[in-house]
Chains A and B, each alone.
Chain A
Amino acid sequence: NAGVTQTPKFRILKIGQSMTLQCAQDMNHNYMYWYRQDPGMGLKLIYYSVGAGITDKGEVPNGYNVSRSTTEDFPLRLELAAPSQTSVYFCASSYAPLAVGGAYNEQFFGPGTRLTVL
């Protein structure tokens, strides 16, 4: 299994450009998440999905959009990039809700996408 994969690894955007960050998982996980991590900070949840066709906002959704047409893929769309969106973006997935104890609630992270907006 490849686990959680993200592309691209690095990207530089100009202000106002748009792009899509790709995320895929091959573990048949229902739950998928997008986080951003600013330097020296913890992760902030942007959007999450509990299954194909179902998405919901996290703490910092402004400036982003998501879709979940399949179980495997959860792309994150940036429209009109701004310098404030310079960050490292992590995608994650889990089999079960994180609030459920047990062996199936571990959240697996992808390697991240480092985005710079100039």
Chain B
Amino acid sequence: QKEVEQNSGPLSVPEGAIASLNCTYSDRGSQSFFWYRQYSGKSPELIMSIYSNGDKEDGRFTAQLNKASQYVSLLIRDSQPSDSATYLCAVIAETSYDKVIFGPGTSLSVIP
């Protein structure tokens, strides 16, 4: 069973701080990685996708991928109360071109 693990949280950070969300995955052959944000009672929305080792930045968000360590993270700089949500890590395994495996999510609370 291919798995994606995340700290369940809740993670609390003060407004303006950096929030760091972590994700590990078990399938060493995984090639595609995604971070979704899900507000309570709403559907997930894509924040970032990353395919290569290293960092990928988009505004206040930075995704970091380390395939050797089977680790992907999401950094949120200058955290805002509107960033309070559950963040889902998702991975596509090497042999499953379209099947996305989601982690359980990390709940983030940004305190004003």
Contact = CB atoms under 8 A, between A and B. Distances in A.
B43 A45 contact: no
A59 B51 CA distance: 23
Contacts of A43: 44, 88, 90, 100, 102
B90 to A, nearest CB: 8
Nearest to B92: A99
B99 A111 contact: no
Interface size class on chain B is 20 to 34
A59 B102 CA distance: 11
Interface stretch (A18-26, A62-70, A72-80, A101-109): A101-109
A42 B104 contact: yes
A112 B98 contact: no
B38 to A, nearest CB: 9
Interface of B: 4, 8, 31-32, 34, 42-46, 49, 51, 88, 90, 92, 97-105
